[in-house]
Structure 1
Amino acid sequence: MATNKKLEKVFRDPVHNYIPVSNQTIYDLIATKEFQRLRRIKQLGTSSYTFHGAEHSRFTHCLGVYHIAKQITEMFTKNYPETWRPEENLVTQCAALLHDVGHGAFSHTFEGIFDTDHEAITVAIITDETTEVNAVLRKVAPDFPEKVASVITHDYENQQVVQLISSQIDADRMDYLLRDSYYTGATYGEFDLTRIMRVITPVDNGIAFKIQGMHAVEDYIVSRFQMYMQVYFHPASRAMEVLLHQLLKRAKVLYPTQKDYFAMTSPRLIPFFENQFSLNDYLQLDDGVMTTYFQNWQTHPDEILADLSTSFINRKLAKSVKYDRSDEADLAILRDIIEKIGFDPDYYTAVHSNFDLPYDLYRPELENSRTQIEIMQKDGSLTELSELSSLVKALSGTTHGDNRFYFPREILKADTLFKSEQEAFTSYINNDYFLGKAGKK
C-alpha cells in the first residue's frame, strides 16, 4: 500500500467544532469533483421548506460521519489491539466519508420517478475508473476501491467495519441526528455522543456498548424516534415531496411530444426522460440545476406543469389528512369530487406513507434484517439492549408513522360554482368515522 504524507487541514464544523484531516488520501477524496458536488445536494431535501434553517448539505454530513468514524477507529486502535486491526482504519474512514457520495438531486423523490439508486451509484463512483474518487483510492492499492465499496454494500469481511458505517447505531446515524437537530432548530435529536464514543467497543463480528453507557444508548434511540416523528415525517415536508413527485411525473409524461422544449429548458434531464443516463449524466444534476429547470417550466403552455412548477417554487402546499387502510375505498370518492371541481386527480391528489421502526431485534429470517444493539456486561457477556431497558423494549418492534391523503387547499375555499361538491368533500373529511378523525394538517 502507498504511504500518506503528513498534513494537517482543519474544517470548522458547527456540530463537531473542528474536523482535522491529517491523511492525504482523505484530503484528496474531499477535493474530488464527485465529493465537492455534495455541497450542492441538500441533506434534508424538501425539509428546508418546513424548517428554514435546514439548508445544510450532504457534504457537511459526510465530513461529520468521517470525523466520528475516525475518532472511533483511533480509539479502537489504542484501546483494543487484540480485537481491532489498525489496518482497518483507512477503509473505515474512506467508507464513512463516501457513504452518501451517490446521492442525487432531491434524492429519494428523484429516485422514485427516474428509477435511480443512490447506493448503486455510490458504488459506481467508487469503483468506476473514470472518476476522481476511484483514482485517489487506487493510489492506496489496486483493490482498495472494491474494499471500500464492499463496506457500502455490507459485503466486507470484517463486520466491525460494516457496523460502524451501517447498523442501528452507527457513525452515519449519530451524525445526521445531531446535525439535522442543529440545523432544523429541533432539540429532539440531541444525545450524549461523547458518552457513546467512550463506551463503544469492538467485539467478534461486530460492535457493542459497555453497560456503563447504556442510558446514553437509550437516549439515542429515543432521540431517533422523536426526530422521525417530529422532523423527518412532518406533513409539510411530505407535501413538498408530493408536489415535487407530481411535477416530475407531469414533465415525464409531456416529454415524448415536447422534446424540443425540454431540450431547450432542461437539457440535463433528457437522459433521464430517455432512461439512458450515464454516471456522468447523473453527476451533472444537483438541487440548484433542478430548481432552475422548475423556474423555466413556470411559463410552460401546459397548465398543470406550469402550475405545479409555480407551486413548488413559491411553496404553495397541498392540504392533507390522515387515513387508515380501511378508508381507501372512500379516497376514490374524494378524487371524484376533486375532479368535478376542476383538478386533475392524477396530479392534484396523492397518498403518502411514512413509517419507521425505531428499534428491532435481529431477525435473520427477514430479507432486510437489522443488527441488534448489544450491551457488554462487566463480565464481558453480551445482552441485547431491550432485555435491559424497559424504555427501549416499549419501542422495540413497534412501527410508527401514518398514511396521508393530499389534496388542493383550494377545495376548502368558498366557491359558489362548486358549493355542493365542496360541502360533500368537507363532510367526508370531517366525518368522525373517516379521515377527519385523524385530523387535518
Structure 2
Amino acid sequence: MKLAETKVLRDPIHGYIHIDQKVIWDLIDSKEFQRLRRIHQLGGVSMVYHCAEHTRFAHGLGVYELARRMMSEVDEIAQFLNHQQKMAGLCAALLHDLGHGPFSHCFERFSHIHHETLTKAIILDPHSEVHQILNKEDPSLAQRVVDILNHQSDCPLLEEMISSQLDCDRMDYLLRDAYMTGTTYGNFDLERILRVLRVKEGHLCVKRSGTHAVEDYIMARYQMYWQVYLHPDAAGYESMILTFLQAFKDYCDKHPSDLLQCKIVDLHQDVLNLQAFERLDDFSLLMQIEKAQDLEDEVLSNLSRAILSRRLPDWKSCQNKEEGEQWIAHLKLSHPFQQALCQVMRMEAGEYRPYFESLHNPIRILDGDTCIPLSQCSDVTQALLNMKNPQQWRVYFPKERFLKYEKTA
C-alpha cells in the first residue's frame, strides 16, 4: 500500500531518503529498527575519528535508498522485478542489520553469535513488531525477506543487490563511513556505477565501460579497511571492551549482580534470548561500564575507568603470536589489571580482502552479449587476486602510566 504522499528524510550521503510504501514507513517506526539509533556504525573507530558517531539506523536507511534507486532508476532491474519482489528486496535492504549488538561487530566476538543470525531471528519472531508489520502487509513477506538474506530466494538478483561483491550495503557504508570519518579513502563514483548496472540471465552485472568505476570502488574498500576499520587504536579500544565483557561475565557468574535490570551477559551462543537482546545497545553497555567503576573488583573498576576516559593501551607490530607473547613476558607485569590490557591480535584481512572471485560470486562484466568475471578484463583486479592474503600481528600492552599502576583506594 502506498502512502498518501512520499515521505523524505534528509541524508548527508544521498540527499533524500524517499519512502512511498506504508510497510517501509511502519518498519522504520518499529522498536527493533529504532533501536539501531543506539548502535554506533563503527564501534571503536569513533575513538579515533571523533565525528564517526553515525548509527546503524542511518546506514539501514541508506542501503534501502540505494536499493530503491536501483529498482526505480535502472530500467532493466525495474522491468525484471515484479512488485512483490521489489517489496521483499526493499524490506531486506532496510532490515539487514537489525541483529547488531553494542559497538556493532565488537559484540559479536563476545557473544559468538553473528548479527545476521539475530537479524533473521528477529524478523521471524512472531512477537517482534517487525514481524507483525511484515505479516500485516503479506503473510509470506517475513520469510521471503529472510530467504533473501540467506541467499535462498527464487531471485538471485535481489540477493546480489543486498549482499554481494557489488551491493547496496557496501556502497552505502563506504561512502557514509568516509564522510563521517572525514577521510577520502572510501569515495567512489556511485552515480557512474548506477548508470552502468544491467541484468543478464537474472544476475546483476556491469557494462564493460563501467569497469574503471568498479575498480575504484574495490580500491576504496581496500583502503577503508586498512586505514579506518582496522586502525590500531580502534582495535585497542575494542579489545578493552571485550576484556571488560568477559571479566564482567566471570564476575556475574560468581556474584549475583544488581548493577542493572538488563545484564549484558544474558545473551549466549546457544540461546537466542531476543528479549534480552532488545535491551542491548551502546548506551546500556556504557551504563554498565560506568557502574562497574564502583566495584571492588580492581580489574573491572580500572578497566571501566580506562574505557570511559579513553586510556588506550599501547601497541607495536610483531611478526607472529609467539613474538607478541615474548614481548608481554618481557614487561614482567604483576598486577591483574596490567595483564588484562595485554593482547596479541592477528589483524587479518580475511573477509576484508577487497575482492575475491569464485564461480558463484564474481562481479560480472557485460562484454557484448556475454557476462565475464571482472578479473578477465581488469589488470587491477587480477593483481589483487594474486596478492598474498595481507595480515598484521599486533601486541597490545599497558602504556607507561599503566605500568606505574597503584592500587585503587
TM-score normalised to structure 1 length: 0.86
1:38 corresponding residue in structure 2 = 36
User: Residues of 2 paired with 1:256 and 1:412: CA distance?
Assistant: 28
* Deviation of 1:177 (Å): 0.1
2:276 counterpart letter in structure 1: D
- Residue 49 of structure 1, aligned match among 47, 50, 56: 47
User: Residues of 1 paired with 2:204 and 2:76: CA distance?
Assistant: 14
Q: Is the 8 A contact 1:339 1:345 kept in 2?
A: no
* Deviation of 1:205 (Å): 3.9
Q: Does 1:391 align with 2:380?
A: yes
User: Residues of 1 paired with 2:101 and 2:209: CA distance?
Assistant: 40
Gaps of 5+ in 2: none
- Of 82-91 and 46-55, deviating more is 82-91
- Residue 286 of structure 1, aligned match among 278, 281, 284: 281
Q: Is the 8 A contact 1:105 1:290 kept in 2?
A: yes
Q: Is the 8 A contact 1:271 1:277 kept in 2?
A: no
* Deviation of 1:105 (Å): 1.1
Q: Is the 8 A contact 1:335 1:345 kept in 2?
A: no
User: Residues of 1 paired with 2:261 and 2:330: CA distance?
Assistant: 35
Q: Is the 8 A contact 2:99 2:115 kept in 1?
A: yes
* Deviation of 1:338 (Å): 3.3
Q: For the structure 1 residues 203 and 305, does the alpha-carbon distance in structure 2 shift closer, same or farther, using more than 3 Å as the test?
A: same
Deviations 1:305-356 (A, max 9, x none): 111111100111111111223xx33333333333445455751211222223
Question: Larger Cα Rg: Structure 1 or Structure 2?
Answer: 1
* Deviation of 1:235 (Å): 0.4
- Residue 320 of structure 1, aligned match among 315, 320, 328: 315
Q: Is the 8 A contact 1:102 1:119 kept in 2?
A: yes
Q: Does 1:360 align with 2:356?
A: yes
1:373 counterpart letter in structure 2: I
1:203 corresponding residue in structure 2 = 200
Q: Does 1:309 align with 2:304?
A: yes
Q: Does 1:213 align with 2:206?
A: no
2:390 corresponding residue in structure 1 = 400
* Deviation of 1:87 (Å): 3.5
Query: How many residues were matched structurally?
Result: 401
Gaps of 5+ in 1: 365-370, 416-441
Equivalence map 1:139-218=2 (5 Å): 139-218=136-215
* Deviation of 1:290 (Å): 0.7
- Residue 84 of structure 2, aligned match among 87, 98, 108: 87
**Matched residue of 2:253: which SS?**
helix
TM-score normalised to structure 2 length: 0.92
Q: Is the 8 A contact 1:160 1:207 kept in 2?
A: yes
2:116 corresponding residue in structure 1 = 119
**Matched residue of 1:100: which SS?**
coil
Q: Is the 8 A contact 2:30 2:129 kept in 1?
A: yes
User: Residues of 1 paired with 2:338 and 2:376: CA distance?
Assistant: 48
Q: For the structure 1 residues 118 and 139, does the alpha-carbon distance in structure 2 shift closer, same or farther, using more than 3 Å as the test?
A: same
- Of 233-242 and 134-143, deviating more is 134-143
1:295 counterpart letter in structure 2: E
**Matched residue of 2:396: which SS?**
strand
- Of 103-112 and 395-404, deviating more is 395-404
1:423 corresponding residue in structure 2 = none
**Matched residue of 2:10: which SS?**
strand
* Deviation of 1:168 (Å): 0.6
Q: Does 1:269 align with 2:269?
A: no
**Matched residue of 1:263: which SS?**
coil
Q: For the structure 1 residues 202 and 87, does the alpha-carbon distance in structure 2 shift closer, same or farther, using more than 3 Å as the test?
A: farther
2:64 corresponding residue in structure 1 = 66
* Deviation of 1:144 (Å): 1.0
Q: For the structure 1 residues 45 and 332, does the alpha-carbon distance in structure 2 shift closer, same or farther, using more than 3 Å as the test?
A: closer
Q: Is the 8 A contact 2:259 2:288 kept in 1?
A: no
User: Residues of 2 paired with 1:81 and 1:32: CA distance?
Assistant: 28
1:241 counterpart letter in structure 2: E
User: Residues of 2 paired with 1:300 and 1:414: CA distance?
Assistant: 21
- Of 130-139 and 330-339, deviating more is 330-339
**Matched residue of 1:22: which SS?**
strand
User: Residues of 2 paired with 1:263 and 1:270: CA distance?
Assistant: 13
* Deviation of 1:264 (Å): 2.9
Q: Is the 8 A contact 1:250 1:347 kept in 2?
A: no
2:353 counterpart letter in structure 1: L
2:371 corresponding residue in structure 1 = 382
Deviations 1:398-432 (A, max 9, x none): 323412111111289799xxxxxxxxxxxxxxxxx
- Residue 128 of structure 2, aligned match among 120, 126, 131: 131
Q: Is the 8 A contact 1:351 1:405 kept in 2?
A: yes
**Matched residue of 1:269: which SS?**
coil
Q: Is the 8 A contact 2:42 2:52 kept in 1?
A: yes
Q: For the structure 1 residues 62 and 412, does the alpha-carbon distance in structure 2 shift closer, same or farther, using more than 3 Å as the test?
A: closer
* Deviation of 1:374 (Å): 1.0
**Matched residue of 1:56: which SS?**
coil
Q: Is the 8 A contact 1:169 1:373 kept in 2?
A: yes
Q: Is the 8 A contact 2:324 2:344 kept in 1?
A: no
User: Residues of 1 paired with 2:60 and 2:83: CA distance?
Assistant: 22
* Deviation of 1:40 (Å): 0.5
Q: Does 1:349 align with 2:342?
A: yes
User: Residues of 2 paired with 1:387 and 1:276: CA distance?
Assistant: 45
1:430 corresponding residue in structure 2 = none
Q: Is the 8 A contact 1:189 1:227 kept in 2?
A: yes
* Deviation of 1:82 (Å): 6.2
